[in-house]
Amino acid sequence: MLTTTPAAREYFSQLLSDQPDGTQIRLSTQSAGTPSADVALNFCPQGEQLESDHKIDCGNFTLFVAADSWKSLDGAVIDFESHPTGGELNIRAPGLRGHEPPSDAPLRQRVEWVLESRINPMVAGHGGRVTLIEVTTERDVLLRFGGGCHGCGMADVTLKQGIETQLRELVPEIREVHDATDHASGDRPYYS
């Protein structure tokens, strides 16, 4: 269930008062289930909502929620908090970024979770990305570096002191972590 507080409804009503008649609000998610998930909140001119959208009657307006976003917004609360300098719209959606897999989940799923929730946000600051290629039957993890990490002279240090340390801590049954990237082919090894 998605909740819109009275303060948020009042805020939306004020915003919509400056829009053409019939304009509503539409909510959707991007990259749901990943640490980079986000919520998009847009004006929805009359007739631009989709048949599949979920409709929430908010009194003075209708909040349309994209069908493919509905599940990840279950339990979400939209609120507007007033401040002396104005205010801030907050959308708290506990299931938006997904949940850490249980300890008995497949090894690949748990490794992917660590990469997406811990490793990639860290290397993204340098324009990089790390992708899981394979988890072998011997529990070895093969990774590929991309973006600013592809061809970087510090990739080995990042692998051994950052990635492998976190993976072993959070997924202790991993045997070894290997870099399967051909770094010699990297043409933009550093973030500019």
**C-alpha span between 83 and 17 (Å, rounded):** 22
The whole-model pTM stands at: 0.60
| Residue 136 pLDDT level (bands cut at 50, 70, 90) | very high
Helix or strand holding residue 25 (H, E): strand 24-30
**C-alpha span between 58 and 1 (Å, rounded):** 14
Domains of the chain: 3-92 (2.60.300.12), 107-185 (3.30.300.130)
pLDDT in tens, 34-72: 767 889 999 999 999 999 999 999 999 999 999 999 998
